[in-house]
A and B are shown apart, each in its own frame.
Chain A
């Protein structure tokens, strides 16, 4: 065995230490602290009482939990495919060799840099009945009705998904775009020599080359969609009624409005388990080569 030397092996340690300490303190420690909390009656002032698995049993028989979970699952099912497919289409557009290339890249990505409060405020403003621009446009083109975008459960979902799509799709697009630019040109050149059509090139070269990044995007997107929270809090606050309340909002309500941190922690861990299982399944299915990228 090679002897560890200061110069080659140990020197990075002091530099990594700072990050490592922060990582343990702010990531590893909270994970275990949270798990501990879920077994206790735990308020913010830490009046603690060990109650074992009671919170988990209560959560599983809590209709509000299942409703919120169902809402979240619905959001994931509806938003994820569009989020991935649309990102791919936008990336292909932004990768075209036209003078509009820079414009496309900029305009597709710009919404991602806005804060959630800004996009939510704009959405509320635009979707208002009577005065909002969306309804005014609809009426201008002949729709003789007044849709209540944020007050009808189905329309509220449409609104939230549309806003989220507009806001976050740019990030996925950038990932696809990077991968597109990483495809070696000689593949296309060879295909051209062989007389392949553009369509064939797309299906046989571009898409397969994009599969690894596509799988990564899908995984990240599912995780992100399951954690949907801020825009719903700000746009509908889970309403009308509780019809758009996602699981994280319910956790937030239990933890920070009812100060029942143990119950909130138990729900967080159930969600964590679901995400873990989904990630493992996706990793197994995705990489025959056993890797994501």
Chain B
């Protein structure tokens, strides 16, 4: 008797443990469960949640589980989890990270499965379709373009007399236009920050990227996936760094702790960041203008990236699940106007033209920047290269290196990164 009871305990422990080891593919009420990983924060997240809720209540067969991952190590988690065959069914990725993920063998091409679900890649403009293409295959469905733009606090700008009759900022599209505008703001509103942006970090890099390509800069890397050459134009890179460097310490205070907060609290006339801030300022009832960075130089170019949906490889995946995945992705793509509420520009031309998008304030003001975005090069080294570039610019803007020394250091670091 005693003996048999022990066996029952042992067997039930084993059953319980094996139950834990299997990942759950269905929900309690029998719907197919798809894991969807995102790295979105604050503003973006609530809009994506709304879309997923909408999808879950639109039918009874599939339940999409939105799982928020920390941004800092998101890609590491995707790579390790897929390597352990515990990856998500669907994930968000930046277009810039696709070559690296593809090269790791994590992604499957999505064009055919999306066609079956009724999504045609011809709906996307060329530059954004190219941004998800690696070695001739399309590896993701882009859902937006998010360029780096300029925000102006209308109340402060008006106080400083820096709005025209229609209430638009009067920034001239000349090399000195931007500087003159904020210098004027500094003079009339000495208590306020003319332009808020952090001295180092990713946003300064985005600005530098914009200026570099507006000045006619060549791509950073040649188009070789695994062995790219550095094709960065040193002279223009230096010039662009010098241009930006002049703003720091003059119309931009050095090392602002939290420049979002500075603008949000109404203490800055202008600030620059990605379009996702539009949704944030709207929910804060800030009276602002969102506009493309003025074209100060010869070329009409902008920095930007794209949120895309990827389908990480899984060892065993039934056709049924694959179809469900494709259907959900097509649904998100169709909801592009909803997603645009976060501030993004929809990836698909037909969504951009739709009334649902055109009616939204601000976004239509900068929607045409999407076609001017210079995406990153098709190389597996993009992410580490970005770290190198951010660091070098950091050294320049905080006056530890001259623009020349800084760009040389940048090129040296890029050479090490790409193993040249």
Verify if A209 is at the interface (C-beta below 8 Å from B): no
In the complex the two chains form, is A45's CB within 8 Å of B255's CB? Answer: no
- Is residue A77 contacting chain B, with contact meaning CB distance below 8 A? no
Q: Is the CB of B104 within 8 A of A43?
A: yes
Q: How many B residues touch the partner, as a band?
A: 20 to 34
Complex-state Cα separation, A47 to B395, whole angstroms: 36
CB-CB under 8 A from A258, the residues of chain B are: 383-384, 417
Which B positions have Cβ atoms within 8 angstroms of A? 73, 76, 79-80, 83, 100, 104-106, 199-200, 253-258, 383-384, 387, 391-392, 394-395, 398, 400, 416-417
| A133-163 at interface with B (beta carbon < 8 Å) | 146, 148, 150-151, 153
Given A240-B398, A241-B394: A256 in contact with B255 (beta carbons within 8 A): no
Count, chain A residues at interface, CB 8 A: 28
Instruction: Known A-B contacts: A45-B79, A47-B105. Give 15 more (CB < 8 A).
Output: A44-B79, A44-B80, A44-B104, A62-B416, A129-B255, A132-B257, A148-B255, A151-B398, A239-B391, A239-B394, A240-B200, A240-B400, A241-B395, A258-B417, A259-B100
Bits for A237-278, please: 1 = Cβ < 8 Å to B, else 0. 001111000000000010011110000000000000000000
Tell me which of B73, B83, B398 contacts A256 (CB under 8 A).
B73
Q: Which residue of B lies closest to A62 (CB)?
A: B416
- List the count of A-B residue pairs having beta carbons below 8 Å apart: 68
Q: With A151-B200, A241-B394, A241-B395 as given contacts, are A130 and B400 in contact (CB-CB < 8 Å)?
A: no
A124 to B383, CA, bound (A): 25
- CB of A46 within 8 A of chain B? yes
Are B104 and A242 neighbours in the complex by a CB distance under 8 Å?
no
| Chain A residues, Cβ within 8 Å of B105 | 45, 47
Q: B391–A241 contact, CB under 8 A?
A: yes
Residue pairs across A and B with Cβ atoms less than 8 A apart, 20 shown, are A44-B79, A45-B83, A45-B105, A46-B83, A124-B257, A125-B257, A128-B257, A129-B254, A130-B257, A132-B257, A148-B398, A150-B255, A151-B254, A239-B200, A240-B200, A241-B392, A241-B394, A242-B391, A253-B387, A256-B76
Question: Chain B residues near A47 (CB, 8 Å)?
Answer: 105
- In the complex, what residues of A have CB within 8 A of residue B258's CB? 128, 131
Complex contacts, A128 vs chain B, CB 8 Å: 257-258
Q: A45-B104, A239-B391, A241-B394 are in contact. Are A151 and B80 (CB under 8 A)?
A: no
If the complex has contacts A130-B253, A256-B73, are A241 and B80 also in contact, measured as CB distance less than 8 A? no
- A241-B394, A257-B384 are contacts. A151–B257 as well, Cβ < 8 Å? no
A129 touches B257 (CB 8 A): yes
Q: Select from chain B the residue with minimum beta-carbon distance to A63.
A: B416
CA distance A258 to B382 in the complex (A): 10
Do A148 and B254 touch across chains, with their CB atoms under 8 A apart? Answer: yes
User: How far apart are B158's CB and chain A's nearest CB, in angstroms?
Assistant: 25
